[in-house]
A = this chain, B = another copy of it.
């Protein structure tokens, strides 16, 4: 079933997914394509039996699970990187640490229509997708064996999607991943120094400066970060400080978040001509009374979305250094995005 392995020098975890294991000849160039054929798409209405049984759905009254009539549908990934069976087991051998690949890997299908991208949905429809994401994260946060729930979206082949039908994914992990830990550490360090949230301070500074603003509405603020890794990278912050993505105060603003996503995805699409893209939601890790490795507190983190179109290649320099070379100044990207008309 595969396992999680920890690099003995860097402390970085890797999922060795032997379930998906491939022989060398499976890697010939350009072999990977996105499934974009309506007749074989497992996510379309009427194809419910071709996925594993659904975990959750929002559906019309009087329709049954795994039948048509759904608006948003959540199913296990058919080729999961992690699985919930058997519980969490940790081992070591010499320098090497491992765990079995305990966790969850779910697919959130955004609607029955293969061709209807999120940006083309109504505010109500997008808001429903967001509610489903929140419900899944809230549900998985109850499992004490899980440390982190990462929600993300890959759109297009360049961005790593294997199916074209609009969907999000969610991976629930028994550890808080390195990249999130670094954000938590950075925010904690700043909070200890200033007794203020670094994200709140960044938002204030960006509002005052103005040149990196992309869009804002009553609940959310979007900007191109000062040290953007990628051209046209956009971060979305909730204006009200909160560390979790699913609390009641956050849910009150779901229509505002739906508006935000519709606007920025539309702007990006118009300027960059339908680019492939990724986004991830970074919220706080699971927290329990008896604590885990990370004791995040309410004040020192701020959930947010990091969105980046797939426009440049990542090469030896980036992998070898952790540096990024970004050929578009964030101020220029923000100007294009801010000025692009949506309607």
Contact = CB atoms under 8 A, between A and B. Distances in A.
Contacts of A282: 320
A13 interface: yes
Given A9-B186, A227-B7, A95 B327 contact: no
Interface residues of A, number: 93
B227 A14 contact: yes
Interface of A: 5-18, 20-22, 24-25, 27-29, 32, 81, 94-96, 150, 152-154, 157-161, 169, 171, 173, 177-180, 182-183, 186-187, 190, 198-199, 201-202, 205, 225-229, 231-232, 271-273, 275-276, 278-282, 306, 308-309, 311, 313-317, 319-330, 332, 336
A217 B154 CA distance: 43
A317 B105 CA distance: 11
A183 B278 contact: no
Interface centre among A180, A190, A279, A319 (most CB of B within 10 A): A319
Contacts of A273: 25, 28-29
Contacts of A186: 8-11
A81 to B, nearest CB: 5
